[in-house]
Chain A
Amino acid sequence: MNVIQPIRGKSKPPAATLGLVDVDIHPRMKKPTDLNPWLSKRWQEHLETYGIRARHGFVGGQPPFPKAQPLACRRDAWPPGGGTPASDLDFLRFQLLDQYGVDVGVLNPLQPSGQGDNNNEFSAALAHAVNEWQLEAWLRKEPRLRGSVVVPYDDGPASAREIEKRAGDPNFCQVLMMSRTAEPAGKSRYWPIYEAAEAAGLPVAFHAFGYSGWAMTNGGWPSFYTEEVSEHAVSAQNQVVSLVVEGVFERFPKLKVVMIECGFAWVPNVAWRLDQHWKQLRGEVPHLRKKPSEYIRDNIWFSTQPMEDPERPEHLLDIMSWIGWDKILFASDYPHWDFDDPLLALSGAISAEKRRDIYGGNAIKLYGL
């Protein structure tokens, strides 16, 4: 939360004996032209002239629901040397990596990454540039960081080509999509992404956000940022349902999916609902050869931040145990305002062994770190 605290001494969570892996860090560019070295003249001019055109109507991807904080960031995350939060590697080291002893941090670049832009070709050009920028500005300079392969997800074949370019590069540990795609994520237009990711041995992460072009709820557009933030968890449910029911995991059984910043308390009830109604409706989906919940259990991982906050801690334990202790990954969401402090994020009600796995053990296995 956005509370200014005295600077503490450096320390790693004591339970993180297998290492501390933060699966959600958001690097920013210092200036809009940072991507130019990897953009053709044509796309540089396009970016300069028309900017990012997301499916919501505001210039430059400015959000239609104004954030609760400038750039949705912690007030103390602006680097003393200037620039925006998480645009300065040294300050990110100081405030996050060194402060908490992060062993591995996974970068998830958000806008201006071009994901979800109206123009697929431009989106593909930007995604490629963002990946090169990750290598140049972050990954080659800091061995604790890993990148995500940003893909122009609404163009399946172009996304697959970008994944193939990065396959085998140990700097990248996953493919990155946003949770609000133009169509449900299980649809066949996205299968080239899953095929390429499975072949490259890279998990596919869905990070909360993006604008599908459709209303943000299935009953129309809400009014408030408070709703927008909560609705991420709702859209993510639809994506999990789509991936399962379309048979993506039958087609790509080794595919690993990671839901990042989507919350997780909803996972059990979504799985139960699918199983419950599959009993009467399974004749419609003969391509599913297991109970729907089994695909979720076998193929999908979930990050912690923002963790739902039950009234009593034992209910959080119930939920985590229903999901599976091996499927939950620690995330801080640095530098955003709702950052989870690694030292405080995981309740002491969770046993030290399970905290150890959530802090690092599960991610080490998932990503092969």
Chain B
Amino acid sequence: MLHGQRGIIDVDVHPVVPNMAALTPYMDEYWRDQVVERGINTIASQNYPPNAPKTARADWKQASKVTDLQAQLLDPWGVEMAICTPLYGTQMVMNADMARAFTRALNDWTRAEWLDRDSRLRASIVLPMHDAEHAVEEIERLAPDKRFVQAQVLVMGETPAGKRQHWPVYQACVKHGLPLAIHAGSCFRNPVTSVGWPSWYLEEYSAQAQGFQSTLGSLITEGVLSKFPELKIVLLESGVTWLMPFLYRLQKTWKGTRFEIPWVDRPPIELVRDQVRLSCQPFDAPPDVVPRVLDMLGNDDMLMWASDWPHWQYDGDEAIPPGMPEALLPKLMRGNALATYTRLREGVTA
């Protein structure tokens, strides 16, 4: 049990695909042959270099089996439900057909090897985003299984998330009551900064926070939040504290240039408070400023707890960002996730 909270819900755990051989049972014969004949051993993503300290805590190096998750997290912390958010590079490959087949296999692997083996688990439908048709097809294929509680994309895509080409995907999310989860990570179609490729992984990891700003800016200015008011956006592993300062700028700009985007007919901060939710690991702030940062956020409903297993964000069981007020914990660790994910509510005991 963490901080005496019961029935806690973890919105960001990362099952690690050990290699391509783990996925081939979930491919058709053509793609299985491709993997074997072309010697595709792994397509692990550079977003989390396998041996980098951030990628796995020293005591969480084994993270490719459901028994690892049970032993390291679910059992000791009394987690009632956890949402799997795999980060293997299936949707990042350049060939759209390959991305579609590999991502389909990834989602089926998650279902068979995680969801079917522990009733506490839920998962994300990882989307191949080359082609909106492929993404919608994957949503339609998996949405009938209510254990898939959201759709999932990387924050740095090929084109900004708000662009109209992606809207059929958002329509499908709304149709099935699935939030759109946007997770840290790049598909590497663009440099991870807008001024080119940085030298160090520390810079690259830091740049996720810039990616979240641009992506949220795009969703707001293109009109996604206004057009789909029922759509919930969940920002995973974003760092959180970039949010309000970015909106202070965007909202001020909007006051001066809103004639350009007249469909944004409410202040961006209001739209975000209604429709955007964030996981709280990592939480980029020292403990002493956390109350002020929460005061800026101005809303108790927006943050959801995540372990971010097996990424190294904290040690031991310091899984709640230091400085979080005790009074917020019931919402943070359970209530806000239940309010965000309709499909989680269906599987909850009182």
A: residues with CB less than 8 A from B are: 1-2, 68, 179-187, 212, 214-227, 229-231, 233-235, 237-239, 241-242, 245-246, 263, 265-266, 268-270, 272-278, 280-281, 283-285, 306, 308-311, 315, 318-319, 322, 337-338
Contact = CB atoms under 8 A, between A and B. Distances in A.
A234 B196 contact: no
B298 interface: yes
Interface in B249-301: 249-254, 256-261, 269, 282, 284-286, 289, 292, 295-296, 298
Interface centre among B196, B242, B251 (most CB of A within 10 A): B196
B46 to A, nearest CB: 14
Nearest to A180: B195
28 contacts: A183-B196, A184-B203, A215-B194, A217-B211, A217-B217, A218-B211, A219-B190, A219-B218, A220-B157, A225-B260, A226-B257, A227-B214, A229-B253, A234-B194, A238-B210, A241-B193, A245-B200, A269-B285, A270-B209, A272-B286, A276-B282, A276-B284, A281-B53, A281-B202, A281-B205, A308-B249, A310-B248, A318-B292
Contacts of B242: 266, 269-270, 273
Contact of A212 (B156, B196, B241, B248): B196
A285 B195 CA distance: 21
A204 to B, nearest CB: 15
B161 interface: yes
Interface string B134-166: 000000000000000000000111111111000
A284 B211 CA distance: 22
Given A2-B256, A224-B261, A274 B159 contact: no
B217 A227 contact: yes
Contacts of B215: 217, 219
A83 B52 CA distance: 58
Contact of B260 (A212, A224, A283, A338): A224
Given A219-B218, A229-B257, A306-B249, A273 B194 contact: no
Contacts of A214: 190-191, 193-196
Given A269-B284, A274-B202, A217 B194 contact: yes
B207 interface: yes
A230 B256 contact: no
B213 interface: yes
Contacts of A225: 257, 260
B72 to A, nearest CB: 18
Interface in B181-238: 186, 189-203, 205-207, 209-211, 213-215, 217-218, 221-222
A238 B207 contact: yes
A226 B261 contact: yes
Contacts, number: 254
Contacts of B202: 245, 274, 277-278, 281, 284-285
Contacts of A217: 160, 190, 194, 210-211, 214-215, 217-218
Contact of A219 (B159, B199, B239, B244): B159
Contacts of A187: 196, 199
B160 A319 contact: no
A274 B207 CA distance: 10
B54 interface: yes
Contacts of B48: none
B195 A223 contact: no
A246 to B, nearest CB: 6
Given A222-B217, A309-B252, A284 B201 contact: yes
A229 B289 CA distance: 28
B221 A224 contact: yes
B246 interface: yes
A362 B194 CA distance: 30
Nearest to B259: A68
Which 8 pairs of residues, A with B, have the shortest CB-CB distance? A217-B214, A265-B245, A308-B248, A238-B193, A273-B284, A269-B241, A309-B252, A220-B159
A20 B206 CA distance: 36
B171 to A, nearest CB: 19
Contacts of B313: 280
B22 to A, nearest CB: 27
Given A230-B249, A308-B249, A309-B252, A222 B218 contact: yes
Contacts of B31: none
B2 to A, nearest CB: 20
Nearest to A266: B245
A337 B257 CA distance: 11
A205 to B, nearest CB: 16
B341 interface: no
Nearest to A182: B196
A203 to B, nearest CB: 20
A1 B239 CA distance: 32
B155 A245 contact: no
Contact of B206 (A212, A222, A274): A274
Nearest to A1: B256
Contacts of A224: 221-222, 257, 260-261
B285 A280 contact: no
B60 interface: no
Nearest to A288: B202
Given A217-B190, A220-B189, A235-B194, 17 more contacts: A184-B195, A212-B194, A214-B191, A215-B190, A219-B156, A219-B218, A234-B194, A242-B195, A246-B199, A268-B241, A269-B284, A277-B205, A277-B282, A281-B205, A285-B202, A306-B252, A310-B244
B250 A230 contact: yes
A212 B191 CA distance: 11
Nearest to A310: B248
B254 A226 contact: yes
A181 B206 CA distance: 19
Nearest to B156: A219
A187 B239 CA distance: 25
B312 interface: yes
A183 B260 CA distance: 31
Contacts of A184: 193, 195-199, 203
Contacts of B222: 223-224
Nearest to A246: B199
A182 B194 CA distance: 9
A234 B261 contact: no
Interface in B78-137: none
